[in-house]
C-alpha cells in the first residue's frame, strides 16, 4: 500500500528515533547526550557495571519504562568501569545510581535497586515535568502541520508529513487517522478501508479515528444508495417515501453535496421524527462526526436539528 505522494517541509524529528531514546554514553559524549539533550526532554542517567547484580535487574526496568514514555523521557547508560573519571566527578559511591537531568540540571535521582512500581512512578514524574516545561514535541508539530495542510486541501503534503511521523512512531493514532483521512480526501476509499480494517481493535476505538470511521461508514452506505436522479424522482412522486429520501441523502453526501444530504435527513425528521427507529437523526449525527465538531456545516445543522427537536 503506497502512500499518497507529496512534498512537505517537516520539523526535525531526528531526536525521536528509538536508538536515541535509550543509549550508551561515555565521559566524552556526556555533555551532548545528557546536558544538551536534557534541554529538550528529561534524561535519566543509569550508572552501572557488568559485575553489579542489582544493576542487571534495574536497568531493564528503567529501559522498559522509558520506552513506554515514547520519547518524552530519554535514558543514558554509563558503565563506571569504563568511565571512572566521570563517576568520580559526579561522586558516584555505589551502584546502581540513577540521576535525572532536565534543562541542564540534575532534578531527581536514587540509589540502589527499586521495585518496578517505583521505577515507573519515577519515569512518570519526569515525563510530567518535561511536558510542563516545554512546548509541542517535533512529532506534535508535524501532526499539526499535516492537519493544517489537509484542511487546506493539500492531501499530498499532509500525507508526507503523517507518513514521516509514522516512521518514528508507527502506532501514533493521530498520524494513522490523518493518513486515512488523506486517502479519503484523494478518493481512495479502497485503501482507506483496507488500512482501517488492518488496525487493532484498541486503535480503532481511539477518539482520533471517530471522524474517519464515520466517513468510511457514510461512503459505504453511499455506494449502495442508488443513483441520484432516480431517487429524486421517487421522492418527488411520494414525499413520504422516507427510505428513498434517506437513500437520496446518502447518495448526495457521497457525491460531495453535504448540505443537501443534511437537508433531506432533516426533512425526514420534520415529517416523521420516529421513522426507522430515529434513523434520520442518528445518520445526521454520523454526518456531524465525519465533518468534525468545528466544521461550519456541523455547527449550522446541529443548530437546525436542535430547533427541530425542541420546536
**Is 182 among the catalytic positions?**
no
pTM over 0.95? The answer is no
**Is 55 among the catalytic positions?**
yes
CA–CA dist 311, 238 (Å, integer): 25
Q: How many other CB atoms are found less than 10 A from the CB of residue 103?
A: 15
Contact of 142 with 87, CB cutoff 8 Å? no
Q: Which of 22, 55, 119, 218 is catalytic?
A: 55
Q: How much is the pLDDT for 136?
A: 63
Contact of 8 with 157, CB cutoff 8 Å? yes
Q: How much is the pLDDT for 3?
A: 40
Phi, psi of 79 (to 5 degrees): -80, 110
Q: Which of 45, 52, 161, 216 is catalytic?
A: 52
Q: How far is CA 205 from CA 25, 99, 202, 228, in A?
A: 40, 38, 5, 33
The DSSP 8-state label assigned to residue 51 in this structure reads: T
Contact of 81 with 27, CB cutoff 8 Å? no
Contact of 241 with 276, CB cutoff 8 Å? no
The DSSP 8-state label assigned to residue 2 in this structure reads: P
The parts of the chain modelled with pLDDT lower than 50 are 1-18
pLDDT, tens digit, for every residue of 197-218?
Answer: 999 998 888 889 999 999 999 9
CA–CA dist 263, 245 (Å, integer): 10
Q: How much is the pLDDT for 301?
A: 94
Q: How much is the pLDDT for 278?
A: 93
Q: How many other CB atoms are found less than 10 A from the CB of residue 283?
A: 22
CA–CA dist 34, 44 (Å, integer): 8
Q: How much is the pLDDT for 135?
A: 57
pLDDT, tens digit, for every residue of 44-65?
Answer: 999 999 999 999 999 999 999 9
Q: How far is CA 20 from CA 34, 108, 134, in A?
A: 11, 21, 19
Q: How much is the pLDDT for 133?
A: 65
Amino acid at each position: 500500500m503506497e502512500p499518497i505522494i507529496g512534498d512537505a517541509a517537516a520539523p526535525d524529528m531526528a531526536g525521536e528515533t528509538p536508538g536515541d531514546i535509550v543509549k550508551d554514553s561515555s565521559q566524552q559524549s556526556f555533555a551532548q547526550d545528557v546536558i544538551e539533550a536534557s534541554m529538550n526532554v528529561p534524561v535519566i542517567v543509569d550508572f552501572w557495571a557488568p559485575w553489579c547484580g542489582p544493576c542487571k535487574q534495574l536497568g531493564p526496568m528503567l529501559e522498559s519504562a522509558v520506552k513506554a514514555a515514547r520519547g518524552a523521557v530519554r535514558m543514558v547508560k554509563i558503565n563506571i568501569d569504563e568511565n571512572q573519571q566521570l563517576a568520580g566527578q559526579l561522586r558516584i559511591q555505589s551502584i546502581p545510581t540513577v540521576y535525572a537531568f532536565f534543562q541542564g540540571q540534575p532534578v531527581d535521582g536514587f540509589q540502589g535497586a527499586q521495585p518496578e512500581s517505583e521505577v515507573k512512578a519515577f519515569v512518570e514524574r519526569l515525563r510530567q515535568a518535561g511536558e510542563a516545561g516545554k512546548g509541542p514535541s517535533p512529532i506534535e508539530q508535524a501532526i499539526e502541520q499535516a492537519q493544517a495542510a489537509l484542511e487546506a486541501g493539500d492531501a499530498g503534503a499532509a500525507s508526507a508529513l503523517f507518513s514521516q511521523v509514522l516512521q518514528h512512531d508507527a502506532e501514533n493514532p493521530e498520524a494513522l487517522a490523518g493518513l486515512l483521512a488523506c486517502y479519503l480526501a484523494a478518493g481512495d476509499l479502497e485503501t482507506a478501508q483496507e488500512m482501517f480494517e488492518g488496525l487493532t481493535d484498541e486503535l480503532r476505538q481511539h477518539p482520533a479515528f471517530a471522524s474517519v470511521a464515520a466517513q468510511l461508514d457514510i461512503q459505504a452506505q453511499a455506494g449502495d444508495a442508488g443513483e441520484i436522479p432516480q431517487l429524486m424522482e421517487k421522492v418527488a412522486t411520494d414525499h413520504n417515501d422516507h427510505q428513498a429520501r434517506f437513500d437520496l441523502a446518502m447518495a448526495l453526501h457521497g457525491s460531495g453535496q453535504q448540505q443537501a444530504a443534511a437537508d433531506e435527513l432533516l426533512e425526514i425528521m420534520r415529517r416523521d421524527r420516529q421513522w426507522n427507529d430515529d434513523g434520520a437523526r442518528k445518520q445526521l449525527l454520523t454526518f456531524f462526526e465525519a465533518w468534525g465538531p468545528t466544521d461550519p456545516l456541523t455547527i449550522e445543522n446541529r443548530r437546525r436539528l436542535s430547533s427541530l427537536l425542541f420546536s
